[in-house]
Amino acid sequence: MNELLGNMKCAEHSTELFIHLSYANIKKFLERCKNNECKYLMSSHYNIEENLELNGIISWRFLNLEISPFNFPKPLKIIIENQQDPNLKCMALWRFSDIDLEKYNS
């Protein structure tokens, strides 16, 4: 995992990456992107009320990046992937300069 995170200079489109990473590794990824002056982040985003940490039993989970531990602001743009279920999965776009990693509670 550290090799993957260390070799990424900038990934503006993380799609399904975060759902497989621990909160600590997501924060490292975001810090590296910010340090490399990435301008935007596009990621999968789910309209759920509570985020769960990976615990060794589950290998992925839904994540709402607007609630704890991430606390991102409202996205600039949301693209609903499944018109049949618009409240669940979407792609969301943020400007990195709007993401305050001090609010990240990992």
- What are the pLDDT tens digits along the chain (106 aa)? 455 444 444 445 566 889 899 999 999 999 998 898 888 898 999 988 999 888 877 788 889 999 999 999 999 999 888 777 756 788 999 999 999 999 988 6
Rounded-to-integer distance, Cα 42 and Cα 44, Å: 7
The full set of domain ranges for the chain reads 11-103
pLDDT for 84 equals 75
pTM: 0.80
63 bridge partner residues: none
pLDDT for 9 equals 45
If phi > 0 it is left, if psi is from -120 to 50 it is alpha, else beta; for residue 104 that is beta
pLDDT for 5 equals 46
Rounded-to-integer distance, Cα 103 and Cα 47, Å: 20
User: For 101, phi and psi rounded to 5 degrees?
Assistant: -70, -10
